[in-house]
Structure 1
């Protein structure tokens, strides 16, 4: 009799335990299903968000080429490699407005007629001025440049504040 009673108790315990485990597994399974559905919904929403976010950004990048441009010299008087007669000013024209405090020039005489081994000589004593639109810099000499070969080095920064440099040569006859 004791044996039957223990078996019934064991069976009842086992049955109750199985029901509890089944309820637990059902809750876990339901939670996993909810998590999977939430994950799928999240992925769909994020892909839509990425598209909504990426489209304006890509459009802005495509149509704002000027925003990423750098200052560059588009014209100079005298022109690069030109032969001119005793200039009293040098005019540099850039593709965009310059930040005046970052615009610099260095004028060097690199050769003089009749002097084969002429050492480079830095030219000073000129003033510079920016145009109202900020795209043109004019160097005004106190007196006309003498015959020789010259190198003008420039450095400038546009609205993007990225410093660009360049140089060109010209000859005075």
Structure 2
């Protein structure tokens, strides 16, 4: 109990002693000047946008020829990339190679690529469509730009896009598939 009383008394004494040091030494009359003194308080900025969570899921792998495109949707602090890659056969799947946010560039970089599954044993011999969804959740805002690159394996199909985030628009950006020039 004596410690509490001692600490309270010490705090009160320190506050009283310091109070006299806080004055500017003038006669108490305020002075005004039109020139800045260089001690302006910086305007507080909001917290920086940051990537909080991400997920990647392959939704479907089947024979087909509708591949190479992707859509980007930005809504409520969440960026969703839905795309379709091609694979050489049914032993292929998609993999998120890169999913990172660069705060200096205010850009989310997404790279998806078709890869052969390690556990594959018997594979259907057809070009497959690999459908995937990548989701990125942000805190304190959303990225100003989303850059998506994806690369298939069978036909060399690829798509790439950069989309600017619109405030709350939720609009999707679709990128056409470049056509293969030969096989």
TM range (shorter): 0.3 to 0.5
Q: Greater relative contact order: 1 or 2 (C-alpha under 8 angstroms, separation 6 or more)?
A: 2
Higher strand share: 2
Higher helix share: 1
For normalisation by structure 2, the TM-score amounts to: 0.31
For normalisation by structure 1, the TM-score amounts to: 0.33
